[in-house]
Amino acid sequence: MLDRATEAAALEGVLAAVRDGLSGVLVLRGEAGIGKTALLEWAAGQADDLHLARVGGVQAEMGMGFAGLHQLLVPFLGGLDELPPPQRQALGSAFGLVDGPRPDRFLVGLAALTLLTDAAAPRPVLCLVDDAQWLDQVSVEVLGFIARRLYADRVGMLFTVREGEGQAAALAGLPELMLGGLPAEAAGELLATSAGARVDGRVSAQVVAGVAGNPLALVELAGELTAAELSGAVPLGWPLRFGGRLEELYLARVRALPGDTQMLLLVAAADPSGDPVLVAKAAGQLGIDAEAGEATGTARLVSWQPRVRFRHPLIRSAAYYAAPPGARRRAHTALAQATDPGADPDRRAWHLAEAAAGPDEQVAADLEHCAGRAQARGGLAAPQRSWNGRCC
């Protein structure tokens, strides 16, 4: 990592506290592409002696109550039977593991805290929460609840949050570190290293200033610029502005792909599960074969195994919104048809709702059932979001 000594020291402080039998919490805030996820991965690489638990926020699952908390706690659910009965009942009900009344959020928070601290007794635990602004609201609230109650529990929690997003307001007040762009010298070094060639000083200064030291923008631009542009022989297209416009770079890359590949990326972007089998099945229904995923330029945007994973969240957004509304509806229709209605009725209902061009009584009924199931699990916000769709 270039010029991230302050950030690395803060992360090392959390790891040291956990190893010393205490606990540590840190929220990394910053704009898209500023290096939050890279720092999280660096911390993971320094924590071989700790038990890692991860969760990454996905926009499509923001309306699914407790989805993020479930993802984080899956490795520890073997200890569910050891929880006090009220906590066990509350967490089991929240995750749909047992029938029961709507779970009390306080008890769910206590249950999650107990589960983590019990798991940390034999080996310290480090929780990595990426893109917390895209977690469902109740999960963010529970994770904030846990973070505020850690003391000498051998549990560490590291969050990344995109600056300006209100969804993660539940983390306010926790120790945090604001990430900015790289200084000029480090940014120029990153640009030259990524380009694999010498960069003219004036060109480097122009690029670094244009992206405000955004590391992801520097890496991506290095691959876009020609040798003549890097040397200064050919003027750069200017002005270069990133941050809100970073997604436009990915949008251009998506639109440069063959039509079938764009449609395959659209299907993958419309599916929050990351299941490669489901994506392939839905794509097949649209007449798209697996070779479309191997087109030149695709690997820099998405990986297909072992899970479908976009290289950056903005790529998912670009792949989805690059397509016209009709194509997005076709993608959701194919995903709904490929989704098992018995195993995952809620996700199927959501895809059908996104696929509807207008009011649809059957889809509305499916969403009503989905909302009822969410309410029974305590996902109070999910029913409201379901009823805000076009079909209701």
Average pLDDT per run of 10 along the chain, which is 392 residues long?
Answer: 86 96 94 88 94 88 87 91 92 87 90 95 95 91 94 95 74 92 90 90 86 83 84 72 59 90 94 90 92 90 90 76 90 91 80 77 63 56 39 38
- For residue 222, give both structure tokens: 């290095």
Q: Where are the domains of the chain?
A: 5-178, 184-244, 251-387
Task: Say if residues 331 and 310 touch (Cβ distance below 8 Å).
Answer: no
Task: Say if residues 322 and 262 touch (Cβ distance below 8 Å).
Answer: yes
Q: Token match 């395959």: residue?
A: 264
Q: pTM above the 0.85 mark?
A: no
Largest CA distance in the chain: 72
One of 3.40.440.10, 3.40.50.300, 3.40.47.10, 1.20.1070.10 is the CATH number of 5-178, namely 3.40.50.300
Cα torsion 205, 209, 210, 215 to 10°: value is 90
Q: Starting at the earlier edge strand, list the strands of the sheet with 176-178.
A: 51-56, 125-130, 155-162, 24-30, 176-178
Give the model confidence (pLDDT) of 356-377 as tens digits.
876 666 666 655 666 555 565 5
